[in-house]
């Protein structure tokens, strides 16, 4: 025991790897003390002659898989490891949950939310392998987002155990094609859970987005990108300002946990969906319109960084009209300048009405 304590975790693992038959099952132990106790027990206790051959083969295979995954993902550059992790860093997930809590409490101080972490090692490894193979094949990774999927409580155990269904009957339509629907709008996700009830449930996932295409009802499979052999990765409801993201394959996402809400003064399903913004430029100047993503918090519209964090949507010419579908509580800004005042003048739009119309004049 004393001699083992002088070894590092890597050295203890190497001891096990050099005699895998004797130290079957070592990959289950990650901490130094656990590995020391495991090795010590194996050195004291003789192998049981009645042990299960299938169990032995499983343990050996499991150990081999652990080695493969370690070699696959543990790169010298820590930045690479972060990109290929199965989950975003804890701080990013926590920040996301805090923002959601602030959002619902802003509507009613009595509202509450609890986040239960779900960390399935097997599914997490499959998501990591998917990203690894994607990069190996296309030499790029693309972005990934934390997205939401509202559902009823009775569906949660099966989803956590088996993943989202790609084949079962569609319960909420398939306006943008068959697949697994995610959203960046927590209100929209809530609208699909336990309608009419104050208790609602949303599954939080990290989703690989990659190359996007606007979906349609007949899109059962993502088409190939023009002049390329690669297919699109994700279909969306709107290219410039997506709210819904549709995936056609499992293991292109990883479930992070479940949000359980208790809400008061419930807003009906239709009050979350089909919001629209129409911008009528009745002036003689060009106006640039940007969408502010939900994750952009506490940034003043007077701060020049607001443009770096926002997404350009449209350049409205004098006399022009522009419209888009959006979601309750989504935020936009628009900016312009004049000959008399060449400095950018910025105004903000908050979507709280079903049909928001901005008639812009100077």
Sheet of strand 275-281: strand arrangement = 321-326, 275-281, 355-360
> What is the C-alpha separation between 152 and 195, in angstroms, rounded?
9
Q: Report the pLDDT value the prediction gives residue 343, as an integer from 0 to 100.
A: 65
Strands 180-183 and 244-247: antiparallel
Q: Report the pLDDT value the prediction gives residue 47, as an integer from 0 to 100.
A: 47
Phi first, then psi: give them for residue 232, nearest 5 degrees: -65, 150
pLDDT tops 60 at residue 16: yes
Residue with tokens 């809530």: 190
Q: Which residues contact 274 (CB under 8 A, 6 or more apart)?
A: 325, 354
Query: What's the rounded mean pLDDT across residues 247-257?
Result: 94
Q: Report the pLDDT value the prediction gives residue 295, as an integer from 0 to 100.
A: 61
What residues pair up with 182 in beta bridges, in sequence order? 245
pLDDT tops 80 at residue 105: yes
Asked whether the beta carbons of 200 and 150 are under 8 A apart, the reply is yes
Residue 311: name the closest of 148, 150, 143 by CA: 143
pLDDT tens readout for residues 208-230: 999 999 999 889 899 999 999 99
pLDDT tops 80 at residue 36: yes
- Tell me whether residue 205 is exposed, middle or buried, using C-beta atoms within 10 angstroms of its C-beta: 0 to 12, 13 to 18, 19 or more: buried
Higher-pLDDT residue of 171 and 302 is: 302
pLDDT tens readout for residues 130-151: 998 898 899 888 899 999 999 9
- What percentage of the chain exceeds 90 in pLDDT? 31
> What is the C-alpha separation between 187 and 295, in angstroms, rounded?
14
Higher-pLDDT residue of 46 and 145 is: 145
Q: Report the pLDDT value the prediction gives residue 2, as an integer from 0 to 100.
A: 53
Q: Report the pLDDT value the prediction gives residue 331, as an integer from 0 to 100.
A: 84
Q: Please report, in angstroms and rounded to a whole number, the separation of the first and last CA atoms in the chain.
A: 81
Q: Which of 1-10, 88-97, 140-149 has the lowest mean pLDDT?
A: 1-10
- Which helix (DSSP H) or strand (DSSP E) does residue 202 occupy? strand 199-208
Asked whether the beta carbons of 347 and 296 are under 8 A apart, the reply is no
- The first and second tokens of residue 55, run together, are 């169990």
Which DSSP string do the residues of 63-117 spell out, in sequence order? Answer: HHHHHHHHHHH--SSHHHHHHT-SS--HHHHHHHHHHHHHHHHHH-TT-EEEEEE
Residue 207: name the closest of 189, 223, 219 by CA: 189
Q: How confident is the model at residue 341 (pLDDT cuts 50, 70, 90)?
A: low
Q: Report the pLDDT value the prediction gives residue 49, as an integer from 0 to 100.
A: 47
Query: What's the rounded mean pLDDT across residues 76-80?
Result: 46
- The first and second tokens of residue 231, run together, are 């297919």
Residue 356: name the closest of 302, 279, 304 by CA: 279
Give the domains, in start order, of the chain with CATH numbers.
2-74 (no CATH), 79-271 (3.90.228.10), 275-360 (2.60.40)
Higher-pLDDT residue of 1 and 188 is: 188
Strands 275-281 and 355-360: parallel
What residues pair up with 257 in beta bridges, in sequence order? 117, 204
> What is the C-alpha separation between 221 and 3, in angstroms, rounded?
58
Count the neighbouring beta carbons within 10 Å of the beta carbon of residue 132: 16
**For the chain, what is the mean pLDDT?**
81
Residue with tokens 């992790």: 85
pLDDT tens readout for residues 259-300: 999 998 655 544 555 688 899 999 999 998 988 876 666 677
């Amino acid at each position: 025991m004393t001699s083992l304590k002088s070894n590092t975790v890597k050295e203890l693992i190497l001891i096990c790897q050099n005699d895998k038959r004797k130290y079957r099952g070592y990959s289950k132990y990650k901490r130094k003390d656990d590995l020391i106790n495991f090795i010590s027990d194996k050195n004291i206790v003789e192998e049981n002659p009645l042990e299960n051959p299938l169990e032995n083969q499983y343990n050996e295979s499991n150990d081999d898989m652990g080695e493969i995954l370690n070699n696959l993902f543990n790169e010298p550059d820590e930045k690479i490891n972060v990109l290929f992790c199965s989950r975003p860093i804890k701080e990013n997930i926590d920040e996301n949950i805090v923002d959601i809590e602030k959002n619902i409490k802003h509507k009613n101080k009595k509202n509450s939310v609890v986040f239960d972490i779900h960390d399935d090692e097997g599914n997490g490894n499959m998501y990591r392998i998917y990203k690894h193979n994607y990069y190996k094949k296309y030499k790029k990774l693309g972005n990934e987002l934390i997205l939401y999927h509202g559902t009823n409580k009775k569906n949660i155990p099966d989803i956590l155990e088996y993943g989202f269904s790609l084949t079962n009957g569609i319960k909420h339509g398939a306006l943008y094609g068959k697949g697994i629907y995610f959203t960046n709008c927590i209100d929209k996700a809530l609208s699909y859970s336990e309608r009419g009830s104050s208790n609602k449930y949303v599954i939080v996932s990290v989703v690989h987005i990659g190359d996007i295409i606007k979906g349609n009802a007949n899109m059962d499979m993502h088409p190939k990108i023009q002049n390329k052999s690669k297919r699109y990765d994700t279909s969306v409801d709107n290219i410039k300002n997506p709210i819904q993201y549709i995936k056609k394959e499992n293991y292109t996402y990883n479930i992070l946990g479940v949000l359980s809400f208790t809400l008061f003064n419930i807003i009906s399903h239709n009050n979350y969906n089909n919001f629209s913004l129409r911008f009528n430029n009745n002036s003689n100047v060009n106006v640039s319109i940007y969408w502010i993503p939900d994750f952009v918090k506490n940034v003043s519209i007077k701060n020049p960084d607001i443009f770096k964090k926002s997404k350009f949507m449209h350049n409205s010419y004098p006399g022009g009209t522009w419209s888009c579908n959006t979601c309750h509580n989504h935020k936009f800004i628009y900016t312009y300048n004049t000959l008399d005042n060449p400095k950018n003048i910025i105004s903000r739009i908050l979507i709280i009405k079903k049909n928001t119309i901005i008639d812009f004049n100077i």
